[in-house]
A and B are shown apart, each in its own frame.
Chain A
Amino acid sequence: MALRVTRSSKALAITAAAGLALMLTACGSNDDDSSSSASSTDCAAYKTYGDLKGKTVSVYTSIVAPEDQQQIDSYKPFEECTGATIKYEGSKEFEAQLPVRVKGGNAPDIAIVPQPGLLKTLVATGKVKKAPDATAANADKWFGPDWKGYGTVDGTFYAAPLGANVKSYVWYSPSAFKDKGYEVPQTFADLMTLTQKITDDNGKGSAWCAGIGSGDATGWPATDWLEDMLLRTGGVDVYDQWVNHEIPFNDPKVADALAKVGGILKNPNFVNGGDVKSIATTTFQDAGQPILDGSCWMHRQASFYAANWPEGTKVGPDGDVWAFYFPAVDPAQGKPVLGGGEFITAFADRPEVQAFQTYLSSDTWANNKAKATPAGGWVSANKGLDVNNLVSPLDKLSAQILQDPKAKFRFDGSDQMPGAVGAGTFWKGMTDWITGKSDADTLNYIENSWPKS
């Protein structure tokens, strides 16, 4: 789990760095404008937080340099208008260190926790403070009940959502699709027809490219595949039961989904030039690159993959690469969306901490953050987020998907499962599955590893 966040934040960091470089070279003069506009913030909206002069709120997070700057910038209006100081501390060891700090009585005021599973563990220590009413009201107003649910443990609402990412994307080359006359598929059946057509036209193993290598965390992209597929074949209810272990990991419905994933990933006619096993050792960063030279056509990966294209690649509906929504099996049943995000967890209930918590859960903050991220690479499920404040076309698309009333969003399953499964045997099991283990053996192995209480 921890590593997935580092990885996605790394991806974001690259975008941020690239964007920063662009800004410095192309429009260095604009730099001054943005800071002056920040100081002329209209403080009327911040009146409700009261006067917090001389108060300090400490924030601990896994968001580290250089993308931390955008976070820090987005806190500035709050600091200026209320007089509070936000002490920001980012660490790559966040997931390992936070529980240590909490148990050691040295918890930060606020932690930005990217996994509901970790939130549960933290709540179990008894140190997490219930979210103030104002924050809960914001969460009700600006977020869907599903998002609020991920910040709720045993009926108590603790943590409001912050940012989000969308995982249900298939990357492709719009220009190459256009040349060959391929259409973006609208249903899963269309997707499989297209897969077959691409294979027939371009040769064995050209339709899909995949890679699940990620160092220590090897296997996670494959877990996303299975989660995305189960959302489509089983529906959100079955998905929830599966994540919460109300049905066993190796339930027949899960086996169905896995078989469907296997229909693509384990079919040598469809993937990686015919070499299925190479999926296991190809890093997820490298996996989609063959789209650029035409040796592969589709790559299922999250929104943050935008940062992995080489410099100069145009990402957009008419660019070199773009992403389409991983289609539903039956679109009439709604659009299942798999994604992730962060949650604001508080370990103190002083007024300034609660005020800051409330600020972060508001539409004001979401729009401030969008404006503080001129290079793109950030999105939130906050319904108050004005899509026009987002810069990159992919962020806009993600925001639209997240705000779509037909969308049925579900949080990354492995991030919600107990760490032993979600960041352990699920990853290993899926890796073994790619290298040859059977569907049944894989699911049984993971089911047997589920912590017994």
Chain B
Amino acid sequence: MSLDAKIPQGPLAEKWSKHKFNLKLVNPANKRKYDVIVVGTGLAGASAAASLAELGYNVKSFCFQDSPRRAHSIAAQGGINAAKNYQNDGDSVYRLFYDTIKGGDYRAREGNVYRLAEVSVNIIDQCVAQGVPFAREYGGLLDNRSFGGSQVSRTFYARGQTGQQLLLGAFSALNRQINLGKVKMYTRTEMLDVVIIDGHAKGIVTRNLITGAIETHSGHAVLLATGGYGNVFYLSTNAIGSNVTAAWRAHKRGAYFANPCYTQIHPTCIPVTGDHQSKLTLMSESLRNDGRVWAPKTKEIAEKLRKKEITAAQVKEDERDYFLERKYPSFGNLVPRDVASRNAKEMADEGKGVGTSGLAVYLDFAEAIERMGEDTVRAKYGNLFDMYYQITDENPYKQPMRIYPAVHYTMGGLWVDYNLSTNVPGLYAMGECNFSDHGANRLGASALMQGLSDGYFVIPYTLGDYLATIGPKPVDKNHPAFEKTKQDVIAYNNKLLALKGNKTVVEYHRELGHIMWEYCGMARTAEGLTKAKAMIKALKADFWKNAILTGENDEVNAALERAGRVADFIELGELMVTDALNRNESCGGHFRLESQTEEGEALRDDENYAYVAAWEFRGEDQEEVLHKEELVFENVKLTQRSYK
């Protein structure tokens, strides 16, 4: 199968407008004859479900949480970008496009990224109309702040809870459509497979997480908005329930998985304290607007700090290395996430890390408190400071925060074309669960932007084109594919429930996480990746022999849920390693030690790797097949990324 991205021809700025005009429309009277399945209720899923219902389609919305409002988008802290140029500081659609392409290290599609920048301005308007309480200036106008990877203030925010407020906006739009009867909501329901008929997606198989009932649901199209797969690393900033199962099962039914090796490591997380830890907590990137990152200049001072012989405040100014400001004078502490993360790791690797483990650097607000006063700092970042205090028992107003990079976001995901369609007709992927828009690295405040862009402003147009093509004939729920897929799911779950070994699923997950972090984390080598691949294969074999599960299917069974998700993470982990091994270059969040500049920055190989790697599943225990979508750059010149 050829990979046609369906990027419209013509000038960059006109592609989306022209495309919208060329897309087929569904007559309003016919819209009610179509059923659309939307899986996931985060920013992408909730906004899509609400918008499609507003248009008149019958929407079935699914989430594994007890309420759509608990989707993990809720946890995003910092903000959402939009090229409004309200600040008059030189922002424009083109600049947002350019920053995003550059930030992604030239591994994203120009067409998609431009569209994202273009609709970003509508997103803010839409959210404000819904009553999202963004931060305001005294004159009543919207306030903005700046984020990593950009030199303008284009980030809209709602204290440190932007994700929660945006999601509540989408949730309320969804609630309105539930009230109107246009959305049927299925909570505590997990998608476990996709039903394919004649090559088209026509439904899903789900497990009711209360009764265990395995059910089938039909629709003219299936839209996945199920988030990212960062939990493959066990420890990440993701919610515990975030998983790849829906996307992975779709992959095993034919949807290509693109760029799985692109993982974003976020530089400002609270460091690990021990093996009991179940997740890592992110501190918003916005903290780097005012906080200064530093490590001690010498190993000796670091050693004293680790042993608590001295405190951070006792380290004199000339004994501190503000390494981001020193190395990147123009962007300073606001360099993009991959750059900040690698530099923190470098400090720890050189023995200059702080905290008991040595795996941390300081994020210091002393200067900001002196400059603005503690009250102003509290008004800007108070809830983040409180959160830090709860977790660490250290007061960040009195001593610098300890931060270290952690897995945060996955840029890879299901391959989609410009219409957000996977290579399986009728199967769409939106938000973090698709691969598009961010390239090899994601800039801050752009995940929320992409989720809402896909859900509010892209899919309502592009889905109609497909639906108009297939026509409103009802989906045949009696087609044998429904029962067959359902039986496959039942058999798979029974296989899991029969595991009566001696090692818990959580132990397997933790072990997978260690392998992934060590060999497919912040830095990768061919040697390490080869080793990891063998280790994951062995882990998989062991899982299916020695894992232990308790309980039955027909009841609430968190162990069964977790087991299915971990089994999928193990398989995906192997593909991530395969992809990382294939990509013999460094770019963005994928850093191959073999490929770096003299200054230690990621060194791309545009001649050989300016492509999207889309992987095709060919059967259990078979090597996946690589398909390449060449990336074409007509508007930006590929240059070595520099934030100096």
Query: Does B bind A?
Result: no
Which chain A residues have a beta carbon within 8 Å of chain B's beta carbons? none
Which chain B residues have a beta carbon within 8 Å of chain A's beta carbons? none
